[in-house]
Each structure stands twice: as structure tokens, then as C-alpha cells.
Amino acid sequence: VTVTVDTPYAAVTEVESGRPITAQISVVWEEPTRASKNTFQVTLWPPGGLSFIVDLPPLSLSLYHVTRSSSGSAPRSEYHISAPDVRAEGFSVSPVQTQEDLKISNEHLEVYGHALSGLMQKLRLHSGQVRQVQVQFLWYGTRSDHRDKSGAYLFLPGDEGEQVKAPLVRVSVGPVFSDITSCFPHVTHRVRLFHIKGHEGRSLQIQNTVDIRSEFNRELVMRLVTDVANGNHFSTDINGFQMLQRRTLSKIPLQANFYPMTTAAFIQDQDRPGTRLTLLSAQSQAVAALKPGFLELVLDRRLQQDDNRGLGQGVTDNKRTESLYHLLLEVQTRNPPVTLSKPDHNTSLTLIKRTESLYHLLLEVQTRNPPLRPFAALGSSLPCDLHLLTLRTLESEQEAGRPSQEAALLLHRKGFDCGSVIFTEIKSFFNQQKSLFDFCRMSE
């Protein structure tokens, strides 16, 4: 949970128990090198190392007090910045001096940034295994000859070019999260790690803020370059329900190897035990895996000409746009190896939980002295692979328009890949059936 306050001296307590909540106060950056003097961010999570979202009971209302407190104030983020003479009043700001300043870590992952750009270069897992996961930003132009050019419906790329200008790099370290931010002229890229023991600490949060309104006939792409040996196969989802395997073919044009990604895409080693790299997206985008170990997606397009497909204009209504992702690198444990003739097209239980936290957000209400009390409708959570679709009152058969004493309960059980490592804090339907039966009795 993140709220905005007007002072860096803030403390958070839970209303019902009065216990203090561990929090982190961060700078609000008005520009890459200029911090706001009047606005600050407070990010919360409860004691015990659990995510704030996970700690909430199912179908519940919880209350927290954010108060001004000169003593016992929440810890503040510490910053390392590649530009000289940057100040943020009340916060520790120092220049980036060594490669160690461009590393962030929690108990599950270590992320190493590039010395010049700050972009992610590799990951170290809890097991000590180091894997290459590089982030690159590239431009696609359009054809320069007299043939059809890219437009609203056509993607006809010309030469590709990499963003070469070294950006400003800003590293933030704190007790709740740590992140590396790279500020390019047209995109601000942030990789964040949460210091949480649960499933949220096992993935990377990636956020891009894109503004290409000053460009002419260019399309911006984010590319992941990894050492995953996936061959020419990768998988994308179909409307968020199931994964479908795709193949990259060299005999067809480059644009024909792009596919729609509604919520997720992954590449995985052809042989097991191996690894799977999954990118979970909060928005629909085009994705491709043009070479082994590659995974790239189109962030935004600005095209000046009509492509003669009925729209009658180019793509020039761009806005400053944010995109959000979670990146998860998982170890595949199934033995003997699974061949590509019968691959697993389901995501893991860990990714299912990350999906829920990405798409089913908390409803936050900020008010003074709310006339509310904490409330919890259920005594226990559903198994991790079950999702509550609907719980509603049915209409009375005797009186039209009036509620009856019956309710409709619809549950969606999601399929998952049994070959991925299942962590102890995540339980499926098979090892949590009692909780489901208790839930159904409470709903009667």
C-alpha cells in the first residue's frame, strides 16, 4: 500500500490492535534530479515479513492510522544517483561510486545493474545460481522505400536501433523495497524488489513510463536477453485462461513472429531440470521471441502515415503511458525431462498468486476519522489455485426484486504446472481441501 503525505515524519499503526506497522518513506521525484519538498510517499507492510496484501483476511475491511510523528517516524529510503549535486531534503543521497551501488537484493534474489545504464544484467537466485537476464530498449523504424509503411494496422519494421544515450540512474534502498531507476529521454524504467518472505518477494516488479510524442515513425520495444535455452519456442496466454505454445520461424517476415500477449508470456529450457522465465503483464501488448533466449514486447508506436486499412490517419494520439510487469525466474524440477511434444502450458502456483495481486487490487479509502470498524467475512482463505468469481444473493421466487435466503457461489479453479517448485507458503486445492469445505459451509 502506498499513500502520499505532506511530511517525512510519519508513523503508521493498525487501528484494531494499535500495533505499529513497519513503513518506508520515499521521495516523490518531480524530475529525474529534482525532489519534491512538499510531497512524500509512505509504503507499508506489517511486521513478520508478510506483504500487506497477504496479511488482509479474505473479503475484509482493515483500518490503519497514518499520523505525524517526529519520534518513531518510519525509516526513509537511501539513494545512490549517477548525477552529481542532487539533493533531497531529509534523505540520504550519495553518488554511485562502485558496481555494488547498482545491486539490489532480498532473501530470494539479487539484481545486478549495468555500470552505465543501470539496466538489469543478471540475477542471482537463492540457490546461488546466476542467470543472464538483460534488459534493452530498442527502436523499430518503418520501411524507407516506396512500399507500404507501418500504420495503425500494419507493422512493417525497417532497421532497428538501440537507445545509446547513457541515462540518469537512481538506486533506492529501504526496509520495504529497493529499486533501480533508469531515466532515458523517452522512457523511465524501474526494477523493484520487495523485502518480503512470501511469494511477492520471489519476483521482480518492472515499470516503464513511456513518452514518445516527440518521435517520428518509430516504435519502442523492451527486449529481455537471457541464457534460457528455449530454441524457437515460447508461450503466450489466451485471454488470461490458458497458455499456447508459439514458434518463431525464420522463413516468415519479422512482423509475422509477433503474437498478442493478454496477461503473460514465458520461455523455458527445452530440457528439464531447467528454468522458466515468465513475464506477467498488467496490460495487453505484442510479444515475440525472435532469437533463443529473447523475449521482447512493443511498448508504444508513433506513426505519421495512414496504412490504407480504413482508419484514414496515422498513430499520433500518444500519451505519457505507464506499463507494469512482474518477472519470475523459476526452477523446473520434473524428472524425467518433458519433451516439447507434450509441454506444460500452465503457469506455476507462484505466478497464479502474483497474477491475483496484480489484477485484483486493494480498494483504498483515505479519510479523516472514518466511521468504520474492521470487518472479516470469512474465517480462512481459499486454496491458492481457486479464485472467487461471484458471491451474490439470489432473487426471491415469491417476491420479484427482493433478495432470497440463497446465494450463488462461483469458483474458478486454475490449472498450474506441477513441474515447478512449490514453496511452503503456497498451498493448492489438494492440500487445503478442509479450508474450502469450511468456506462453503460459511457461505450457506
Alpha helices in 255-335 (DSSP H): none
**β-strands 204-210, 187-194: how paired?**
antiparallel
pLDDT, tens digit, 9 for 90 and up, residues 310-322: 999 999 999 999 9
State the pLDDT at residue 283.
93
How many beta carbons lie within 10 A of that of residue 276, not counting itself? Answer: 24
- CB-based burial, 22-47: b 16+ in 10 Å, e otherwise: bbbbbbebeebbebbeeebbbbbbbe
- Over residues 340-359, mean pLDDT: 70
Give the chain's domains with CATH numbers: 96-346 (2.70.98.30), 380-443 (no CATH)
Cell digits of residue 178 = 529497493
Q: How far is CA 77 from the centre of its chain?
A: 21
Q: How far is CA 316 from the centre of its chain?
A: 28
Q: How large is the average pLDDT for residues 144-157?
A: 87
pLDDT digits (tens, 9 = 90+) for 398-441: 888 899 989 898 988 877 777 666 554 555 544 444 444 454 44
For the stretch 48-101, pLDDT in tens is 222 233 367 788 888 888 888 776 677 888 999 998 888 888 888 999 988 899
Express each pLDDT in 372-391 by its tens digit: 888 888 777 778 778 888 88
pLDDT at 106 over 50: yes
Q: Which residue has the cell 489455485?
A: 385
- Contact between 436 and 386 under an 8 Å Cβ cutoff? The reply is yes
pLDDT for residue 334 is more than 80: no
Cβ atoms of 230 and 289 closer than 8 Å: yes
pLDDT at residue 258 tops 60: yes
What is the tens place of the pLDDT at every residue in 272-288?
Answer: 667 889 999 999 999 99
How many angstroms from the chain centroid is the CA of residue 308? Answer: 36
Percent of the chain residues past pLDDT 90, beyond the cut: 40
| Residue 5 pLDDT exceeds 90 | no
- 288-300 burial, b if ≥16 CB within 10 A, otherwise e? bbeebbbbbbbbb
Arithmetic mean of pLDDT, 223-245: 90
Average pLDDT, the chain: 82
> Nearest 5°: CA angle at 122, between 119 and 128?
150
